[in-house]
Structures are given as C-alpha cells and as structure tokens.
Copies of this chain bind each other. A is one copy, B any other.
C-alpha cells in the first residue's frame, strides 16, 4: 500500500495522526484542480468553483451522514473551533465544560475568549485508564452546573488517542439544554461517522488526517436549528446588505468563501472518499486496528506498563491510533530524535499530565515490519532514556 502514497519509503512512518498523508491519485486530482484554476482564473472562480464546492460538500455530507448544505469546508479543525467559539455570546456567569484531554490550540481559543468575555472554562479531569463509556460520562458530568451552557470535547483526543462516547454525551447534554461542540479532528476516516445518529450541535473535523485528503481540508457541521448562532469569523462578500454571494443560507454565506484562495484541497475530498471506498477501507481499518492492538501489547510487555484503554478492544476506545505509556524519559525531544535519526522511525512522544507516552498510528501503508523496527528501537533506546529517580 505504501506505493499508493507519496511518503518517503525510507522512513518508518507511524505518525499518520499528526498531519495525515495523501494517496497519489488524490494528490494528482488536487494538483489538477490547481491547474484548472490557473487556466482561466476568473471563469473558474466566478462560474465553476462554487458548483464543484457544492458537489464536494454533498459527497462529504453523504460520507458523514448529513446534508452537504449543513457543512462548510474550512482549513482545519482549530479554525472550526474559532468560527464556533467566537460566534457565541458568552459572559460572566457562563461556563463551558470540557475535559483535561483537549488539544492545546483549542484550549487556547477558549482561554483567549474567556479572558475577554469573563466566562469560565472548566477542564473536568477524565481519569486514565478509562473503564467504560458510562464512567466517562459520569466523570464529565461532575463538572456540569446550572451555569454550563456549552460542552466542548474531542471525539478522539489528540494526546491520549481516546475515543469519547460523544453520542451518549450529546444525548444527555441535549436533555439538559446544553449545546455540544465536538472536535472531530482525528475522527473522519478513522471510524465510520454518522453525524445524524450522533446528533451534536456543532462538529468539526479534519479530512486531511484519516480521510487522507490534501493538507488544509476540514469541515464544520452545524445542526440546522443552531446555524443561526454562527457569525462570520472572516467577514467578506458573504455578509451584510451588500452581500454578493448566496450559497443558500446565512451559515454558508458567512463561512464558505473567505476571499481569493485556492480551494483545491476541498475539491479533492471526493477523490479521497473514493480512494478509500475503492480500497475496501472497512477491512483496511480492521487490519490496522489488529496490528495496532498487537503493537500496544508488545510495547506493554517491553515496558511493563498497563494500557490506558480497557482490555476489550471491541469497546471502541481506540481505532488506528493508540497512546501507550512509556517509562518517564529524561529528555523527550532527544528520545524522539534518536528514534528518527538512528532508526528512521517517525512517531510522536507525548507528554500528558506530566507523564510520557508514545502515540502510534497505523494506517494502510504500515506493515508488521514497521512495528518490528519500532519495537527494536524502543528495546535499544528505552534502557538508556529513563529519567533518573530523584526521590
């Protein structure tokens, strides 16, 4: 499978999770859109682009289980949170509830706004190892108060690669009158996604990670009855009395066209969907998960440290990306560079809550041999990398 990707064949690439990787036919379609744009830029942007964009939106909508007109393309998930969070009219006395597993850039968005607007951003701890969906929901709900107006959390967390039971959380939040904002950065393509079934109020996710579209492609979904909350983050032709763009709703007009840009990454999303469909991705995912489960087991044998996930792999707490405990390291950056420079292994070393982990991603192009190289590298490097006990 690696020949289908543009990845350097000399690198053992176990970090699909950070920025994804794009199959060659998807990348070719992407660059072909760019050439089409250059052939007659005015006609393309004025008469063709928005039809192609609507088509891509429909394809993506079908893939994630909602009408294409309820989602907009955005460059990445963090951008999506900025659109949603900056639209909200929060003030002193309001609370936004989240977990202590969220992506740092997203935490920054909320901290920035809470400084300006005076609301509280409540980071409720979710304890590792997790045991059950019910336990996670209950632990999260310990942070709910009568002032909780929004719940923000990841579908799959970044540092801890943990799948939260968001359907349960969205259901319980709705019953309590709390609006849900779900960060799906790592979800589309890593697991089957049916947003109608999950029923969040707002959901954004990258397509450039696990759906393998080109870098800078993501989407923001808003439930129809919540779309009126959304304001433009980048005001342009789609807002105001002099609006010249009409995509069919304020939500789309306010968010879809942010001035002259190359939107080819968005237009290549249908090619990414097609690539996965043509390559039997349900089976690919299952194979990747099996290899990842073995990898986690083997690393656990090497370190003697327990998993952060329940033993039953069918519980769905991880899929193609797993965060696996390491002994405390003396120097995280040096350890990571040794993996890359001595063993050609690209894999992230994560610090979460002061503890060190390795986050392994298994994508279609990875093989058992990749894992063998990783295990060999860890066996060599770990004994000399431990933090000295200063107790």
Residues of A participating in the B interface, judged by any CB pair closer than 8 Å = 5-8, 11, 13, 15, 18-22, 27, 30-31, 34-35, 37-43, 45, 75-79, 82, 104-105, 107-109, 111-113, 206, 208, 214-216, 232-237, 239-244, 258-262, 265, 340, 346, 348
Most chain B CB neighbours (cut-off 10 Å) among A42, A206, A242: A42
A188 to chain B, nearest CB (A): 14
Q: How many angstroms between the C-alpha atoms of A42 and B348 in the bound complex?
A: 9
Q: How many angstroms between the C-alpha atoms of A214 and B35 in the bound complex?
A: 11
A203 to chain B, nearest CB (A): 17
B235, A234: Cβ atoms closer than 8 Å: no
Which listed residue, B109, B214, B216, B239, touches A108 by the CB 8 Å rule? B239
Number of copies: 2
A362 to chain B, nearest CB (A): 15
Which listed residue, B21, B37, B76, B348, touches A260 by the CB 8 Å rule? B76
Known: A34-B31, A40-B346. A260 touches B19 (CB 8 A): yes
Question: Which chain B positions have C-beta within 8 A of A7?
Answer: 38-40
A79 to chain B, nearest CB (A): 6
Known: A78-B236, A232-B112, A242-B107. A35 touches B19 (CB 8 A): no
Known: A75-B259, A104-B244. A40 touches B8 (CB 8 A): yes
